[in-house]
Amino acid sequence: VAEGEPGEGREPFELPRFWDALGQTFQVTSQEATKLSLAFSRPPLPSAEDCQKLSEDVQNAILAVATVYYWLPKGQGTTLRKMVRDATTEVVEGMIQLTDTILNAPVESLSQEQLISTGGVWEACEQVSNLPRDNQAAVVSALAACLGVVKDAVEEMEHALVEGQDPYGDIMEDEELGFRGNRDTYWSEADRQLLSSCMGLMKASKACLKKVLAAVKAHGKADSPEQIAQLDDLADIANDISPSVDELALSMYPPVNPLAVRLNAAKLASVLKKVLEIAKTSHVCPPSEEGWVQFLTGAVDHNMNKVKNFTQGQL
């Protein structure tokens, strides 16, 4: 579904009315999917006239879904709009898949593929009830998703760094490989010192997302264009944390290249400092929240300086 702006001359936008309309169009689309699937679930085939009517009803339902999506202005929040767009796209793609399945399946009985495709449309249409209702809720959802990914990455690296553990042990136990004395698959003591500072940065990433998420939950508002834009800025930069954590984690596996580790650590530190700066200057960070911003800024600097010190003589 392409981007679009509401047309001129329309009544002032109201979120509750938008959600009512979107919910109705998703419900109608679900019903049309059921009708279409039932019509082609067993012989005889619907008549040409019935097929025409079915296809028009499906097309109208999908057009209504897309039209209502376009009512949602970007001013309500790009994070919210993206989530609604993704849900809308899922419904449209689900209906395309169902239609393709029907066109390509012999009409002898209801095929497994047709059942799955029909269920897929129902599931996509039901997602409307789970969508966040404003940009504050959308940003909370986006930050929570980022936090979950970063938590997993931190736990995985902590597990790999357990003293004496072979990071490739689970994938290199083939007997044909024999005994491995290859240093490229192990961390040296110097590597481990460097990586402990990298872990400090990764843990700071988790703490940063956790604190920003809590601040958005406690103080975030979507009542003014400025508040909505500040929330979007936070979500946008927070989206960069997870890929930066992943890149750093990948560079931490042996054989360790100190330059790659330092560059990836610097990139992550830069993203974290930006997140903290945006949070600090936004409405989600009243004076009561400034303590953790200062503390985490210091933690990022401290760990990045340690990375620089450990890699100084190795570059």
Residue 10: predicted pLDDT: 59
The CA-atom distances, in angstroms, between 299 and each of 17, 67, 104, 197, 263 are 46, 48, 59, 10, 18
Residue 262: predicted pLDDT: 97
pLDDT cut 90: percent of the chain above it: 78
Residue 161: predicted pLDDT: 85
Confidence of residue 2 (pLDDT cuts 50, 70, 90): very low
Q: Over 90: is that where the pLDDT of 110 sits?
A: no
DSSP code for 313: G
Please give the structure tokens belonging to residue 178: 């024999």
3-state secondary structure of 314: helix
Q: Over 60: is that where the pLDDT of 15 sits?
A: yes
Q: Over 70: is that where the pLDDT of 9 sits?
A: no
- Which long-range contacts does 221-225 make (Cβ < 8 Å, 24+ apart)? 221/136, 221/283, 222/76, 222/77, 222/134, 222/135, 222/136, 225/75
Q: What is the pLDDT of residues 257-298, one digit of tens each?
A: 999 999 999 999 999 999 999 999 999 999 999 999 999 999
Spatial CB neighbours of 54, under 8 Å, sequence gap ≥ 6: 35, 36, 39, 46
Largest CA distance in the chain: 80
Confidence of residue 178 (pLDDT cuts 50, 70, 90): very low
Domain regions of the chain by residue span:
15-130, 135-166+175-311
At residue 105, φ and ψ (nearest 5 deg) are -105, 140
Q: Over 90: is that where the pLDDT of 3 sits?
A: no
Distance CA 75, CA 78 (A): 7
Identify the architecture of domain 135-166+175-311 in CATH: Up-down Bundle (1.20)
Residue 314: predicted pLDDT: 63
Distance CA 15, CA 69 (A): 12
Please give the structure tokens belonging to residue 101: 């399945």
Distance CA 215, CA 285 (A): 7
Q: Which CATH superfamily is domain 15-130 in?
A: Talin, central domain (1.20.1420.10)
Average pLDDT of the segment spanning 32-54: 92
Distance CA 83, CA 261 (A): 34
Which of these ranges, 2-11, 35-44, 267-276, has the smallest mean pLDDT? 2-11
Q: Over 60: is that where the pLDDT of 1 sits?
A: no
- Report the chain's terminal Cα–Cα distance, integer Å: 48
Q: Over 90: is that where the pLDDT of 172 sits?
A: no
The Cα angle at residue 94 between residues 88 and 97, in degrees rounded to 5 = 145
Distance CA 305, CA 204 (A): 14
Confidence of residue 39 (pLDDT cuts 50, 70, 90): very high
SS3 labels along 153-192:
HHHHHHHHCCCCCCCCCCCCCCHHHCCCCCHHHCCCHHHH
Which of these ranges, 41-45, 195-199, 298-302, has the smallest mean pLDDT? 41-45
Residue 112: predicted pLDDT: 87
Asked if residues 242 and 146 have their Cβ atoms less than 8 Å apart, the reply is: yes
Confidence of residue 4 (pLDDT cuts 50, 70, 90): very low
Distance CA 297, CA 204 (A): 9
Q: What is the pLDDT of residues 233-254, one digit of tens each?
A: 999 999 999 999 999 999 999 9
Place of tokens 């097309």: 59
Q: Over 50: is that where the pLDDT of 199 sits?
A: yes
pTM: 0.87
Asked if residues 283 and 216 have their Cβ atoms less than 8 Å apart, the reply is: no
Q: Across all residues in the chain, what is the average pLDDT?
A: 90
The Cα angle at residue 153 between residues 150 and 193, in degrees rounded to 5 = 115
Confidence of residue 111 (pLDDT cuts 50, 70, 90): confident
Distance CA 172, CA 178 (A): 10
Average pLDDT of the segment spanning 168-172: 53
